[in-house]
């Protein structure tokens, strides 16, 4: 342990810092998931006459290469561009889950918040004529509308948790399916107003580009092989940085985390714990909805409106993205991109090897499963190194020093000539 000359508090060395431990735990989780995925490939090779052990090694290498296994440089750039664009909603849902976790809440309602955000963004972007209102203003209004709907939807489980102490997981599950049915009902009731008739698809909303509304690309789509790439991933990354600063450098963020550490203690300290619970879930809902809005406002993406039987996968995948990043907003950016990177590698595995299309989702699912062990691995690393317990502020807790017992003055027996002490 090193001691700062300007401070009397001992600070942990680099390898014992909480952030470094979190990164190591995440890396171990990723390696563990990849190893299990490789074992699955070996087992398939052992029980199949068409697949050899060499194919298993080649398949594992293909997964690890991600979009770089696409072949030609044009295909590589195309897959990288789409990977970064598809990472945007996963980053936002990961941030949504992470913020709630920091406040001691489990936001499993991100899928419903995502759907509400998509609905709000599409209704506004396709309803306001860009011949009257400039397209960039419509884009901003649509993004704000989608985010606001998510804020409202996220605050519902927060309100029930704060007011009636109802478990937020139960309320989130209910609001997920309510949102799925609300979205289906709204678009069904509008008739053919928003339906995509230009393509041979069923139950899809038309793309926002039909109303000249689209997220600026700044030439990134051309740079990445005519992909769907736009500036949305930079918007999501900027939001992650803002959240990191808010959670770690502001009084409001400190209160949110304090409420998560101990709700009763924060209340005793004078903090409004009920308000913080509602605000945390509202922020979480807005983040998930903003991710959906950014996806829909790309201009080239359509949206299937009959959602009453399904929930968006990115809403649930935000949970492992947050866990893999140890709920660090900056880390969520990298964990989300990594999950999409492995997903692209899995798609190339099915396209270029003898393995079928069901193998790649299996490997990705194993890695996602292992991400849930990152917290356990983090605690195990600290235990193996016999670290001193780390306080919530990142400083080592000093062990209490036992004071030597003072010998009290004992009165001696009284004598005839008086008493001695």
pLDDT in tens, 153-162: 999 999 999 9
Question: How far apart (Å, rounded) are the C-alpha atoms in residues 149 and 116?
Answer: 6
Average of pLDDT values for 306-315?
A: 90
pLDDT tens digit sequence for 283-299: 999 999 999 999 999 99
Average of pLDDT values for 30-35?
A: 86
Res. 1: pLDDT tops 70: no
The CA-based angle 14-18-23, given to 5 degrees, is 85
Res. 85: pLDDT tops 80: yes
Question: Got the DSSP string for 309-355?
Answer: T---HHHHHHHHHHHHTTT-HHHHHHHHHHHHHHHHHHHHHHHHSSS
Task: Give the 3-state secondary structure of residue 236.
Answer: helix
Report the chain's mean pLDDT, rounded to a whole number: 86
CB atoms within 10 A of CB 44: 19
Whether the Cβ atoms of residue 183 and residue 309 lie closer than 8 Å to each other: no
pLDDT confidence bin for 78, thresholds 50/70/90: very high
pLDDT confidence bin for 206, thresholds 50/70/90: very high
The CATH class, in words, for 10-384 is: mainly alpha
Each domain of the chain, given as residue ranges in start order, spans 10-384
pLDDT tens digit sequence for 342-370: 889 888 887 888 887 677 777 778 877 87
pTM: 0.86
The predicted structure's pLDDT at residue 6: 52
Question: Got the DSSP string for 79-116?
Answer: HHHHHHHHHHHHHHHHHHHHHHHHTT---TTHHHHHHH
Task: Give the 3-state secondary structure of residue 272.
Answer: coil
Question: Which stretches does DSSP call E strand in 145-212?
Answer: 204-205
Rg of the chain's alpha carbons, rounded to an integer? 27
CA distances from 191 to 202, 339, 402 (A): 13, 38, 76
Q: Residue written as tokens 């051309």?
A: 222
Average of pLDDT values for 266-270?
A: 87
Question: How far apart (Å, rounded) are the C-alpha atoms in residues 178 and 161?
Answer: 18
Average of pLDDT values for 275-284?
A: 96
Which of 46, 25, 61 minimizes the C-alpha distance to 326? Answer: 25
pLDDT confidence bin for 28, thresholds 50/70/90: confident
Res. 274: pLDDT tops 90: yes
Question: How far apart (Å, rounded) are the C-alpha atoms in residues 292 and 241?
Answer: 19
pLDDT confidence bin for 418, thresholds 50/70/90: very low
Spatial CB neighbours of 31, under 8 Å, sequence gap ≥ 6:
none
| Helix or strand holding residue 253 (H, E) | helix 251-261
Question: How far apart (Å, rounded) are the C-alpha atoms in residues 144 and 179?
Answer: 18
Lowest mean per-residue pLDDT among 41-50, 143-152, 396-405: 396-405
Q: Residue written as tokens 């990445």?
A: 224
Question: Per residue in 285-305, is it b (16+ CB within 10 Å) or e — as a string?
Answer: bbbbbbbbbbbbbbbebbbbb
pLDDT confidence bin for 387, thresholds 50/70/90: low
pLDDT confidence bin for 393, thresholds 50/70/90: very low
The predicted structure's pLDDT at residue 412: 43
Res. 394: pLDDT tops 80: no
pLDDT confidence bin for 75, thresholds 50/70/90: very high
Lowest mean per-residue pLDDT among 33-37, 181-185, 237-241: 33-37
The predicted structure's pLDDT at residue 88: 97
The predicted structure's pLDDT at residue 15: 62
* Rounded percentage of the chain residues whose pLDDT exceeds 90: 56
Whether the Cβ atoms of residue 148 and residue 117 lie closer than 8 Å to each other: no
Task: Give the 3-state secondary structure of residue 10.
Answer: strand
Maximum average pLDDT range among 71-80, 249-258, 281-290, 353-362? 281-290
Lowest mean per-residue pLDDT among 49-63, 127-141, 304-318, 356-370: 356-370
The predicted structure's pLDDT at residue 421: 39
107 backbone φψ class: left, alpha, beta (φ>0; ψ -120 to 50):
beta
The predicted structure's pLDDT at residue 372: 75
More confident residue, 399 or 116: 116
């Amino acid at each position: 342990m090193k001691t700062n000359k300007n401070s009397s508090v001992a600070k942990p060395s680099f390898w014992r810092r909480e952030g470094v431990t979190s990164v190591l735990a995440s890396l171990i989780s990723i390696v563990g998931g990849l190893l299990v995925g490789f074992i699955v490939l070996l087992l398939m090779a052992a029980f199949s006459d068409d697949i050899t052990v060499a194919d298993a090694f080649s398949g594992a290498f293909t997964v690890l290469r991600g979009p770089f296994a696409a072949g030609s440089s044009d295909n590589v750039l195309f897959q990288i561009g789409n990977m970064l664009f598809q990472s945007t909603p996963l980053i936002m849902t990961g941030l949504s889950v992470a913020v709630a976790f920091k406040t001691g809440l489990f936001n499993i309602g991100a899928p419903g918040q995502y759907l509400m955000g998509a609905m709000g963004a599409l209704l506004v972007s396709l309803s306001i004529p860009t011949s009257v209102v400039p397209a960039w203003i419509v884009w901003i209004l649509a993004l704000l509308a989608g985010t606001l709907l998510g804020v409202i939807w996220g605050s519902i489980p927060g309100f029930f948790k704060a007011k009636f102490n109802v478990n937020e997981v139960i309320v989130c599950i209910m609001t997920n399916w309510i949102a799925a049915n609300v979205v289906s009902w709204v678009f069904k009731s509008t008739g053919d107003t928003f339906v995509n008739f230009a393509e041979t698809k069923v139950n899809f909303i038309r793309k926002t580009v039909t109303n000249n509304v689209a997220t600026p690309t700044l030439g990134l789509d051309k740079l990445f092989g005519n992909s769907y790439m736009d500036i949305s991933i930079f918007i999501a990354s900027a939001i992650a940085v803002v959240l990191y600063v808010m959670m770690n450098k502001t009084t409001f963020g400190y209160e949110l985390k304090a409420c998560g550490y101990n709700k009763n203690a924060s209340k005793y300290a004078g903090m409004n714990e009920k308000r913080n619970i509602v605000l945390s879930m509202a922020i979480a809902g807005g983040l998930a909805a903003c991710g959906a809005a950014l996806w829909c406002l790309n201009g080239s993406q359509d949206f299937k409106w009959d959602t009453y039987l399904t929930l968006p996968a990115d809403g649930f995948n935000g949970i492992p993205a947050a866990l893999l990043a140890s709920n660090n907003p900056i880390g969520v950016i990298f964990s989300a991109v990594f999950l999409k990177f492995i997903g692209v590698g899995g798609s190339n595995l099915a396209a270029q090897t003898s393995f079928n299309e069901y193998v790649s989702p299996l490997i990705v699912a194993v890695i996602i499963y292992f991400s849930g062990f990152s917290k356990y691995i983090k605690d195990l690393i600290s235990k193996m190194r016999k670290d001193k317990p780390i306080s919530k502020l990142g400083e080592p807790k000093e062990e209490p020093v036992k004071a030597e017992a003072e010998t009290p003055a004992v009165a001696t027996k009284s004598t005839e000539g008086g008493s001695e002490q």
